[in-house]
Structure formats: C-alpha cells, structure tokens
Structure 1
Amino acid sequence: MIQQTTDSLKLWQFHNLSQHKGIKHFISGRSGGVSEGEIGSLNLSFRAGDTRENVQENRSRLAYALGISPEQLFFPAQTHSIHVKKVEPGTQSASLTDTDALVTNSPGQCICVMSADCVPILLYDPVKEAVGAVHAGWRGTVGKIVTATVQAMQQEFGTKPADLIAGIGPSICPEVYQIGEEVIEAVLQTFGKEANLISNQNGEGKGYFNLWEANRIQLLNLGVQPTSIEVAGICTYQQSDQFFSARKSGNRAGRFAAGILICPE
C-alpha cells in the first residue's frame, strides 16, 4: 500500500486503485485525531465509547484531508450483516441502518466502512463509474457480503465483475485470527475444506481463519480478474500502533475507516 500524510493524518491507498484519477480512496490509521486513550486518536465511530464532539472533529479532519465536506462522508450503522445499500443524492446517513456495505455511482459521495480487525474492501468499476465499500468480519465473510455487494453493483449499475478493481484492506491476519468450532464449521459449510481457509487446528477444536483469502476467493468466483485484486497484507493486530484492533485491545478500540468516492467532473 501507499502511505501518505496530510497535515497530521496518516492515510493509506491501494496501488491498483491509485492508478485511476476518476476516484479518491483511503484507509485511515489511528493518528491525527483528538480522541484519547485506547480509542485515540483518529477514532471515527460514535459507538466506541468516544464523545460525539471528538468523533465529529475526527471526521471533519478526514474530510478536509480528502478535499470534501463532512456531509459528503457516508458511514453505515454496521451490524455484521450482509445488507447492502445504495447511496444517491438525497440519501441521509440516518437511513443506513443495519448495513455493512454501500454502493454508489453518484460523484462526490464518499462511501465508507469502519473496522478494527474486520476486513474493509473497496471496489471500483471504471467502465460504469461505480464504487463499493464493504465491511466483512467472519459473519459477513461467511455470509458472502462481498458477493452480495458485487451483485448489487451488477443490478444497480450494470457492472461486469471482470471490470472491477478491488482492494482488500488491513485486518487481522491468518497467523493471528484464531477461531472456535462454531466458526470453523460455518467456514467449512460456506467454502468447503478444499479452500484451505483454516490452518493449525488443534485438539481443542480451534484453528486460524484466513479472512483475506476467503474474500479474495469470492471475488475470483464472481469473475474479478486475479491481477485486479490487491491484498494489503497488513495485520491490524500485529500493527495495532498504526490501526485499531478490537482483539488486541480487548474490544476497547476505536475504529478506522476505508472509503472511496467518484470525483465530480
């Protein structure tokens, strides 16, 4: 990934998406904001135990770094669902409830998802000029939310998966993400044993889940070109000084964001 610092904000970008001048995109870190403690400093979530004033200031700083107004940032109220909603002119953020993925073809509307170990995924269709932002934890991954998002882009915008460019962002890595029997069973039911998404299973019924590959497989199965998928390969748990990690902090972390917008003409 490409790392940039704007004022005091440290932002990351995917190499593949950065080649396209018709969009802006970002992955935020945890520096450059006003929040304190375990949620410091660039917490972007109102549900992380922060003050509303802090979050609003942090979002304003992010918007300024992107060259847009805070009103152009759209964050869904995430619930680890597989629900996808379309953002268009007139959409109110308050309407984006029980939602973990957003799509739009409206210029100037920055669709975002928040994370602190789950996988943020950004999608861009340069042919139809449409974008998507996806939040995929283990529930969303097993429920195939990235598949649902691509299908929504196909239905709403006529997107062809072969045209899509995808970035799989920083999240907890397969070397660290240990899960129990219930999650292992759900993964195997969705992807099958042959996908090799679970490693190092032990006698206690625990193993390690590769969220990155599980979401990459979905994109490949839809017809997205392998060369069009970039995996950041950054572990939020191992690099919790740069990104929020719920597991590392004992669920006391703030939330970073991934976002994408179509530039106005």
Structure 2
Amino acid sequence: MMTRSLRTFLWVILCAGWVVGCATAPLPPDGKKKSEAKYQLGNSLIYEKNYLEAVNQLREAAELDPENPNIHNSLGLAYQGLRLPEKAIPHYQKAIQLKPNSPEFENNLGTAYAALKQWDRAIEWFQKASENYLYRTRHVAYDNLGSAYHNKGEYRLAIDNFKKSVEYAKDYAMAYINMGLSYEALQEWDSAVGAYRKALEIEPNSGLAPLRMGDLYRRLNHQEAAVDALLIAIKNDPNGPYGKAARDLLTTIRKPK
C-alpha cells in the first residue's frame, strides 16, 4: 500500500494534470505514429539488450506522447537494463499514475526498489501486484515477494510466498530453487534438497538446480551425492556460469588431502 506522503504527492500531480489537461491539445496523428514507431523500436532494442539506444528511442517517444503509460514502463525497463533502478523508478511511478492498478507496472516498480535493496518498498509493490487476480503472471510477483522477504531474513514468509508462486504456476522451477535457499537459511536441509530436486524434475536441463543441490551436499559433507549433482550441472550448462561454478566446486571435492 502506498505511504500517505506518496498518495498525497500523486493526488496533487493528478489534480494538476486535470487542470493542465484541459488546455492541452490532442496528439496529432503524425506525432502518434512517430511515438508508436519509437516505442516499438525501443522495445525491440530492450529485447536485444541494447539498453542505451532503447533509452534514447523511448525518451523521444515519451516527449511525443508523455501521457502513454506503456512508454514510461518500457523506459523503466531500459533503465533497469542499464542498472540504473533509481532512474527507472520515476517512470514506473508515472506509468502507475497514468494507469492505476496495473500489476505489471507495480511488479516492475517492486523490482527497481529490490535492486536498490529497499526491501520494504519492494514488498509493498510485489504484494499489490500479486493480489491482483487479473495479473496473468501472479506467480512471478509471489516469487519476487518471497525473494524480498528472504533478503530481509524473514525466511518463513519467503517460503510461504514461494509456495503461493507454485500454486499459480506449478512448473515454475525458479520458485522451488528460491524456496530451497530459504530452507537452507533455516537449516532444514531435507526440505532444501527436496525443493532443488523438484526444480530439476521440472527443468531436467537446468544448470542452477543441480548446482545448488551439489553445493549443499558438499557443505553437508555428502561428497558422493555432491559429485553426482555437480556433474549434472556441468552436463546441463557446459559453457555457462553454472557449469563453471560446478567445475570449481568439484575441484575442491576432488583435491587431494
């Protein structure tokens, strides 16, 4: 839920927007076309991870059509791609102001606060997004909510939300992996292994799930089980970061005494 000061701020802006809106001419058709073209190009550039050029295109789109919430949302995504969440936040807020109760925008705002480790604010927006029954990817918001609680050290609440995530998307492996981390934090080893196994069952080609499981077995001194899991991680992600991490861990297990 918004703080009172933020609600007041947005209300003032909305009232001001109403007064100014009475005197604002509608966007000409050619301006609308230019804005839409730049918006579409900006989204394509985000997909290609060319975030800097995406920002340039989307800023121009926003200048042409400043009251388009989707443009502001995409600008937020582009800034986050540049790892500038502090610049993303005002655009997500503007998108929400222009299109209230949009769970996608709310979830995105939560991710920006999470990137800044402002967990309470992140939780506020993830909660709002997850409770919207019209949100098609509620499982993502619940997973994000669980991760925010985990980072606050509230591991039971984290697990509760990871479980809600898989209620809405039973094959969402990442929620099980995150659940495993929270079980580890509580030193509930069997439950952690079970969560990692479930993630690997859902995604047999995952590199992350067997890496987490192998590392846990290694720390518990179950060396044979650790080796088996780490070899799966290497097989599934031979040239990626999970395979590399698994090889590094495997070296520590096999290092001669």
Whether TM-score is above 0.5 comes out as no
Name the structure where helix makes up a greater proportion of residues: 2
Q: Which has the larger radius of gyration?
A: 2
TM-score (norm 1): 0.27
Name the structure where strand makes up a greater proportion of residues: 1
